[in-house]
Amino acid sequence: MTVDQYVTQAQDRLLDELFEFLRIPSVSTDPARAADTRRAAEFTAAALERAGLEARIHPTARHPVVTAVGPHVPGAPTVLVYGHYDVQPAEPVDAWSSDPFEPHVVDGTIIARGASDDKGQVYAHIKGVEALMAVDGALPLNVKFVVEGEEEIGSPNLGAFLEAERELLAADVVVISDGAMAAPETPTITYGLKGLTYATLFARGAGRDLHSGAYGGGVPNVLNAIAAMLAGLHDADGRVLVPGFYDDVRDLDEAERAQIAKAPFSEEAFREDAGVSATPGERGYTLLERIWARPTLDVNGLSGGFQGDGSKTVIAAEGMAKLSARLVPDQDPRDIFAKIERHLLEVAPEGIEVALQVEGLGHPAMTPLDSESVRAAGDALRTVWGSEPVFARTGGSIPVVADFQRVLGADPVLIGFGLESDRAHSPNEKFDVLNYLNAVRVSAELLRALARR
């Protein structure tokens, strides 16, 4: 029996098991879901045990980490598979077409929270081990798993866990599937991830909300100030105006620009999916280059003053804005935070007190395209999909990827099986059945290919 035949024959069971996983509302940011998150960790550990690995659940300050180790294969390389079992909140629930935690299939697509991000993808790797054990009788190399429950809240405890358990998790290659293909039925290897600096801006202009008639024109208006400060973060060409923001950016060379240009990408389809009529950004770069390989700075939230129905004539005492910078090699997230903080303090209007608070930091990551692990991934994708893989970067961030490189000295191999249109973090998240089953096939073939390299 081949891996392909095994997956085909077992597909109903593979779907049923994934559905059981998806029914667990493991929302890591919600304290009320702590027991459910623990239950998802237990489900993950049990699935790894059934696949033939020895699993453990490790407590952390918040949600547990699950590890697993397969039978030792002397002289063979070691592969570590990373994923996460926690999911984003489902709210607004009334925007879903059905219960977000009751998965079902519509036109060949699984609809459920966590279907694509990341339960479907990490579970496919567990089933890939199972398939290879069933077909070959043994694994051709050493296999380990680390599956966390805090990725959706920035992995606050995983870095320390990696440091403490570096011997347990030691590996030559880290395999990660927590992303998307460049296009439907287009096998994709992601070789670059952006880093992240996320901060909250707090501003105050008065001791209390003030009557706009009695005080207007005579006191600082904190909301006007925030608006001006945020509007001044970019110039007319889309360049970030924070001094030093681009100092350490690794420029795109012509070879990589040519590689990005090969990716199947429709700007029209992008606009339609996003529901936008324009695609503004940094002048001098294509839309895909800006998304994948240029740093960005965006306002993610803004609040202050009266926001109820009708009118209330007040000058607000305080306001707040959320800011995120997506970073590229070789930017450092702490350095970028310091530069943004310094800039905002300097441009704050007279009478406005400003403070900036770090909410999340993550380093960008890159994997050499000519590495043996990337070549092995290409072999596995060709075997299953029957076509050449596309090489892509992504605008998204997985902060722990850089930690794997730093702590374990292992380059990551990122193979996404979802689609950018899978509505991760949004209502009606989905994952194609074909992509799930092929992910199981690719996972098994990847272990074979890595063992040959």
Q: What is the residue type of 197? A: T
Average pLDDT for 128-136: 97
How confident is residue 132, by pLDDT bands cut at 50, 70 and 90? very high
Reduce the DSSP state of residue 332 to 3 states and report it: coil
Q: Indicate if the pLDDT at residue 399 is higher than 80.
A: no
Higher pLDDT, 246 or 367: 246
Q: How many alpha carbons fall within 13 Å on the CB side of residue 263? A: 24
Average pLDDT over residues 320-337: 97
- Report the pLDDT averaged over residues 62-82: 97
**Which among 426, 443, 417 has a CA at the least distance from the CA of 179?**
417
- pLDDT surpassing 90 at residue 139: yes
Q: Would you state the pLDDT for residue 406?
A: 87
pLDDT category of residue 398 using cuts at 50, 70 and 90:
confident
Q: Which residue has the higher pLDDT, 121 or 182?
A: 121
pTM equals 0.83
Residue 372 has pLDDT above 80, yes or no: yes
> What pLDDT does 364 receive?
94
- pLDDT band at 154, cuts 50/70/90? confident
**Model confidence over 406-429: pLDDT tens digits?**
899 998 999 999 998 999 999 999
Listed residue (155, 77, 130) closest to 449, CA to CA:
77
- Tell me what pLDDT residue 326 has: 97
| Inter-CA distances, 130 with 16, 440, 441, Å | 15, 9, 11
Query: Other C-beta atoms within 10 Å of 330: how many?
Result: 13
Angstrom CA distances, 354 to 146, 321, 339, 344, 348, stand at 40, 11, 14, 8, 7
CB 430 within 8 A of CB 109: yes
pLDDT digits (tens, 9 = 90+) for 163-176: 999 999 999 999 99
Query: Which pLDDT belongs to residue 411?
Result: 84
Counting residues of the chain whose pLDDT is more than 70, the rounded percentage is 100
Confidence of residue 151 (pLDDT cuts 50, 70, 90): very high
Q: Which sign does the torsion angle of CA 173, 176, 180, 185 carry?
A: positive
Which pLDDT band, with edges at 50, 70 and 90, does 396 fall under? confident
Which residue segments constitute the domains of the chain, with CATH numbers given? 3-193+364-452 (3.40.630.10), 195-254+292-362 (3.30.70.360)
Q: pLDDT band at 137, cuts 50/70/90?
A: very high
Phi-psi label, residue 378: left if phi above 0, alpha if psi -120 to 50, beta otherwise = alpha
Give one DSSP letter per residue of 245-293, joined into a string: TTTT--PPPHHHHHHHHHS---HHHHHHHHT-S-----TTS-HHHHHHH
DSSP assignment of 121-173, as one string?
HHHHHHHHHHHHHHHHSS-SSEEEEEEES-GGGT-TTHHHHHHHTHHHH--SE
Question: Does the pLDDT value for residue 213 go beyond 90?
Answer: yes
Alpha-carbon span 316 to 86, nearest angstrom: 38
Between these two residues, 9 and 182, which has the higher pLDDT value? 9
Kind and range of the H or E run holding 444: helix 433-452
Asked if pLDDT for residue 189 goes beyond 90, the answer is yes
Peptide bond into 411 cis (omega under 30): no
For residue 400, the model assigns a pLDDT of 82
Stretch 246-269: mean pLDDT: 92
pLDDT, mean of residues 346-366:
95
State residue 446's pLDDT score. 98
% of the chain residues with pLDDT over 90: 91
Q: Is 181 exposed, middle or buried (0-12, 13-18, 19+ CB in 10 A)?
A: buried
> For residue 18, what pLDDT is reported?
98
Res 420: pLDDT: 86
Which tokens go with 349?
A: 């209007």
pLDDT at residue number 111: 98
* CA-wise closest residue to 79 among 452, 401, 450: 450
Taking residues 34-54, what's their average pLDDT?
Answer: 98
Q: How far is CA 413 from CA 44, 262, 366, 404, in A?
A: 22, 20, 10, 11
